[in-house]
A and B are shown apart, each in its own frame.
Chain A
Amino acid sequence: MNDVLDVALRLLALLLAFLVLPLVVGQTEHKVMAHMQGRLGPMYAGGFHGWAQLVADGVKFAQKEDVVPAGADRRIFQLAPAVALLPYLLVLVAIPVGPAEGAVGQVLDAGIFFVLAVMGVGVLGSLMAGWASANKFSLLGGLRTAAQLMAYELPMLLTAASVAMAAGTVSLPGILDAFEWWWVPWQIVGGAVFFTAGLAELQRPPFDAPIADSEIIFGAYTEYTGLRFALFLLAEYAGIVVLCGLTTVLFLGGWHGPSADGLGWLWTLLKTAVLAFVVIWLRVSYPRLREDQLQRFAWTCLIPLSLAQIALTGVVKVVIS
């Protein structure tokens, strides 16, 4: 009975984090972007500095009509938002928040592989949406999504492998247990590559050519309305949370920090929040990369860098052991 309660509590906490954190990131994006551009952002909803803007947006989305285009492939069109969103919920299960036994949803033996595999599945949702919409802009968006995923999955995997080599394990809590402070400078190139490739996999600016609104009208999501569109947006922000959490765990030492015994989870959240801020910052500061620039950047810059990082990791590992 106790086990059942334990599992239920963990799932509830996960679901809560999954529902709240993306909204927090979204609201922060509203405000941070606004202030960086010399505006105020939403100010009315909820009273204090428009804190309830995203709740209001959710209510608005729920009221809208759910349209499926006549020429679309109905079932796949309707299934796509779920395929895009659910993997991020699953990934949250494996991310350790604190040093204690209970601070991770489920300890997985091959945590890194689980996380990267499931995140890759999420992109299938965009592909399904792009194809099933029967719209040429959506199809273009789907194509760009697929090309981008194939290019950026490799550097992500290679840099994650570098951390796994350093720690001698592929389990996420295991990596954090083995962490030392000097890993941060040692793995910093890999961390930057991982974060950048993750941004591209999430299709965040400056890597948002697949959904470029001024060019191909939001790509795969052109035909979506109402709740299903909101689910895609939620998937994007949940993806930001997951990516920042993963980068924190793999490269920034997760819950390690001063007085980490009691406040480890706070360190994880703080580092994740700083990274999420960087994600928003990049959106405001960089123009969108063109499609060929995207590919060139991945194949001629990120992959050599990640291979160099793996070589460095191997050399240092051999020297110190």
Chain B
Amino acid sequence: MSHAVHLAATGHAFLSPTGVEIAFLLVGVATLGAAVVTVTTKQLVHAALWLVVALGGLAVEYLLLTAEFIAWVQVLIYVGSVVVLLLFGLMLTRAPIGRSPDADSGNRPAALAVAVAAAGALVWVVVDAFRTTWIELDKGVQGSTAVSGESLFRHWVLPFEALSVLLLAALVGAIVLSRRHGHDSGRAAGHATRGNGAQSPGAQGPDAQSPGHGKEKR
């Protein structure tokens, strides 16, 4: 989207922040706090719910940057689907009320190292790429659906398509894994338990894309 923003960072002072900038920082701090609680809390379901706060905070940040479309898609996909899937998985397996001290893994230092490295790399790349760009919040909306769509499907079509191929591969992989599992552990059992419901979103999705095939299988 960099073509839509002005290359005028030099003229802006960081010492006299506007209201939006202050709000952006405050929401950012809250989001970071929620994210830290997500990975440190001992209560599994609370972690998932704190994740909702963190992801919602990110959506608010997008809104403050006038990217309304991205913000709502963030809520729709992450809060509405990913967290629901997470909660579903937790409830299906084990979701005790109260602390679960055995949920801690011995890989904590490794996870911390990976997290810090990933965060460092991302911050470095973003700062390096966008240091000199500046969004003029007053001069109309620059993250509207029309602008986002245009830049996504004109300038960034290739990464977009590559991502969809990646997702398709993941989908196919999920089907292959669940099919193999279904054959040796008995189909009837899989059909009667609630596990069937858990697998159906991934397992039957592509069938739905070719309606004829889905009906044949039934």
Contacts and interface: CB of A to CB of B under 8 A. Distances in A.
B34 to A, nearest CB: 15
B208 A299 contact: yes
B197 A139 contact: no
A150 B81 contact: yes
Interface in A124-139: 124, 127-128, 130-132, 134, 139
A135 to B, nearest CB: 10
Contact of B87 (A117, A146, A304): A146
B69 A120 contact: no
A116 B81 contact: no
Given A113-B72, A299-B208, A307-B208, A131 B91 contact: yes
Interface in B80-95: 80-81, 83-85, 87-88, 90-92, 95
A189 B50 CA distance: 39
Contact of B91 (A113, A142, A299, A304): A142
A76 B48 CA distance: 12
B189 interface: no
A142 B197 CA distance: 13
Contacts of B196: 292, 295
Contacts of A149: 80, 84
B88 A143 contact: yes
Contacts of B198: 147
A147 B141 CA distance: 37
A121 B80 contact: yes
A295 B200 contact: yes
A116 B204 CA distance: 23
Contacts of A171: 145
The interface size bin for chain A is 35 or more
A170 interface: yes
B76 A150 contact: no
B49 interface: yes
A117 B194 contact: no
A117 B72 contact: yes
B211 interface: yes
B97 A132 contact: yes
Given A110-B144, A147-B197, 15 more contacts: A109-B141, A109-B144, A109-B145, A110-B69, A113-B72, A121-B75, A124-B52, A127-B91, A131-B45, A131-B95, A143-B88, A150-B81, A157-B76, A300-B207, A300-B214
A80 B218 CA distance: 39
B68 A299 contact: no
Q: Which of A72, A123, A127 has the most CB of B within 10 A?
A: A127
B97 A130 contact: no
B22 to A, nearest CB: 22
Interface in A45-78: 71-73, 76
Interface in A293-321: 295-296, 299-300, 303-304, 307-308
Contacts of B90: 131
B209 interface: yes
A201 to B, nearest CB: 10
20 contacts: A71-B97, A76-B45, A76-B46, A76-B49, A109-B68, A109-B69, A110-B72, A117-B73, A124-B83, A146-B88, A150-B81, A150-B84, A150-B88, A150-B201, A171-B145, A292-B196, A296-B218, A303-B205, A304-B214, A307-B208
Contacts of A134: 97
A121 B75 CA distance: 8
Nearest to B213: A304
Nearest to B202: A150
A114 B63 CA distance: 12
A120 B204 contact: no
Q: Which of B83, B84, B191 has the most CB of A within 10 A?
A: B84
B191 A153 contact: no
A151 interface: yes
B3 to A, nearest CB: 19
Interface in B57-106: 68-69, 72-73, 75-76, 79-81, 83-85, 87-88, 90-92, 95, 97-98
A292 B91 CA distance: 18
A118 interface: yes
B154 interface: no
B8 to A, nearest CB: 25
A170 B16 CA distance: 37
Nearest to B203: A299
A169 B146 CA distance: 9
Contacts of B180: none
B84 A300 contact: no
Contact of A127 (B84, B141, B214): B84
